[in-house]
Amino acid sequence: MPATKLSKAAQDQASRVFDLDVSSLRELNQALHNLTPGSNETAWEVLHPKGSHSVAVGVDQPVSIDVRGSVGYYCAGMNDGAAITVHGSAGPGVGENMMSGSIVIKGDASQYAGATGKGGLLVIEGNASSRCGISMKGIDIVVHGNIGHMSAFMAQSGNLVVLGDAGDALGDSIYEARLFVRGKVESLGADCIAKEMRPEHIELLQGLLDRAGVTGVKPSEFKRYGSARTLYNFNIDNADAY
């Protein structure tokens, strides 16, 4: 980044709002990566993202970031502690490999939202596309609308909550993640089955709905899906299911 003659205070002030019509994406992400524990720069705003890729990836401090507009690929990837809100829609791979913190998408999300996420909360207020939560490893995902086909494919841990419908092959080859769907499920993937909603699941789901700001929806309206656990170890009798 070129040296500037701005005072330190002026730089701090200026760095909280990043207009991507003026600054580069690299400058934004570098400034976010420069944050250190205890920084006073806790509220960030990103203007004119124009579908850019990799907006606010790799943030590892507990700051809030408001992105005003729609983003492209991999927004908020690897997020570790930040509260990131996209006031628009998100392209493929939003919140991929999130560790902790939260991401809220006010619009829709494209394919593989929250893929491989290990922690934190991803809320999609619109619809998500195919492979939502693929290979999720501990992340919680709440989708207000519908999700596409092959969602939660090979999901290992965490919770996927869908207020709308799910597409084909939900939870294909799922391990231990819990899937809660309020609407209809087009079809279940290999080794994914409907399961009983026990009191602990009602409680868990209520907590997730609360954290995601969902009101007026009861946990009892959802069905739970999870692993039949027949594909954990290879058994020749199950070969057709792979």
Footprint (CB under 8 A) of other proteins, residues 93-132:
108, 110-111, 129-130
135: contact with other proteins by CB under 8 A: no
- CB count in 10 Å sphere of residue 19: 13
Strand order in the sheet with 100-105: 17-19, 43-47, 64-68, 80-86, 100-105, 121-124, 137-143, 157-162, 178-181, 223-227, 192-195
173: contact with other proteins by CB under 8 A: no
- Helix (H) / strand (E) containing 45: strand 43-47
50: contact with other proteins by CB under 8 A: yes
Q: 């419908």: which residue's tokens?
A: 165
51: contact with other proteins by CB under 8 A: yes
* Per-residue interface string for the shown chain with other proteins, residues 57-96, x marking contact by CB under 8 A: -------------x-xx---------------x-xx----
CB 161 within 8 A of CB 205: yes
Which residue, 20 or 35, is less far from other proteins as judged by CB? 20
> Token pair for residue 207?
């907590």
15: contact with other proteins by CB under 8 A: no
The one segment of 22-30, 44-52, 59-67, 214-222 that binds other proteins by CB under 8 A: 44-52
> Token pair for residue 228?
């039949």
- Interacting residue ranges for other proteins, rule: CB under 8 A: 50-52, 70, 72-73, 89, 91-92, 108, 110-111, 129-130, 148-149
